[in-house]
Amino acid sequence: MNRIDRLFGILTTLQSKKHVTAAHLADKYEISVRTVYRDVKALEELGIPVSFEQPKGYYIVKGYFLPPLSFTADEANSLILMASLAEKFADKSIAHYSNNALSKIKAVLRSSDKEQAERFSDHINIYIPESEKTENDYLIDVQTAITKQIIIAIDYTDTRNLKTQREVEPIGLVFYNLQWHLIAWCWTRNDYRDFIVKKISNISCTKQPYRKKDHIQAADFLTWLK
């Protein structure tokens, strides 16, 4: 990778994260930390206000406007493939937003790249068993609860086919065995639980912030999968 491409890549990484450490940039672009320092200085000399906060790392000063990013044909095709997977393996709510984002991406492609992207879209076919399909539209609600750390109330059919009502604090979404699982702290059981999303029949937001502090990571709960 030449330096111009690397500088653009570092800028893109800074745009995509709140803070980025020099070590992360060095590892991502396979350069030394000293080279990261020189590259960040070069961005600053170009007028991009990169600042640093110890120990979090570099960030772009809030309020600075950056022009829209452009996408290569290969990048656009990768996103088209991901959107196709979302349409089949997520639910309607996620597919809706994924397709909206994809339309915006296609809108900024060059004409030749846009034609290739459309051609690729017509040649993707993904099949899943009818038994694994879901008509629920709850993934976006779970996603919002996780990011905003809000308690949700769910109507859930458990493994004994009993319908229960729970107040839960979602900590993660995991996809395994061809279905989505919500990992959450359950106040009914006073412990972490694994809920199959397609067995949730209703979700409502309580607008209450999490009451439990210091949640574990969803990956730690599912160590048995590794």
pLDDT, tens only, 22-71: 999 999 999 999 999 999 999 999 888 999 999 999 998 877 665 556 67
Q: State the pLDDT at residue 89.
A: 76
Report which residue type is found at 62.
K
117 and 148 share a domain? no
147 and 116 share a domain? no
Task: Assess if residue 134 is contained within a domain.
Answer: no
209 and 155 share a domain? yes
The Cα 142–Cα 169 span in angstroms is 10
Q: State the pLDDT at residue 84.
A: 78
Residue 55, classified by CB atoms within 10 Å of its CB into exposed (0-12), middle (13-18) or buried (19+), is exposed
Does the structure show a pLDDT above 80 at 214?
yes
The Cα 155–Cα 115 span in angstroms is 45
Average pLDDT for residues 205-221, to the nearest whole number?
91
Q: State the pLDDT at residue 169.
A: 97
- Residue-wise pLDDT for 105-153, tens only, equals 776 677 777 777 777 777 777 776 666 666 567 888 899 999 999 999 9
- Residue-wise pLDDT for 81-111, tens only, equals 887 777 777 777 777 777 777 777 776 677 7
185 and 216 share a domain? yes
Is there a cis peptide before residue 55, judged by omega within 30 degrees of 0?
yes
148 and 221 share a domain? yes
Task: Assess if residue 150 is contained within a domain.
Answer: yes
Question: In the chain, how many domains are there?
Answer: 3
Q: State the pLDDT at residue 191.
A: 94
Q: What is the DSSP pairing of strand 179-186 with strand 163-176?
A: antiparallel
Domain span holding position 199: 139-225
For the domain that residue 146 is a member of, what is the CATH number? 2.30.30.520
- Residue-wise pLDDT for 155-181, tens only, equals 999 888 999 999 999 999 998 887 889
Q: State the pLDDT at residue 69.
A: 60
Does the structure show a pLDDT above 90 at 73?
no
Q: State the pLDDT at residue 135.
A: 58
The residue that leads in pLDDT, 219 or 66, is: 219
Task: Assess if residue 22 is contained within a domain.
Answer: yes
Task: Assess if residue 77 is contained within a domain.
Answer: yes
Task: Assess if residue 208 is contained within a domain.
Answer: yes
Task: Assess if residue 158 is contained within a domain.
Answer: yes
99 and 158 share a domain? no
226 pLDDT tier (thresholds 50, 70, 90): low
143 and 96 share a domain? no
Q: State the pLDDT at residue 77.
A: 82
Task: Assess if residue 179 is contained within a domain.
Answer: yes
The residue that leads in pLDDT, 135 or 222, is: 222
The residue that leads in pLDDT, 116 or 191, is: 191
For the domain that residue 16 is a member of, what is the CATH number? 1.10.10.10
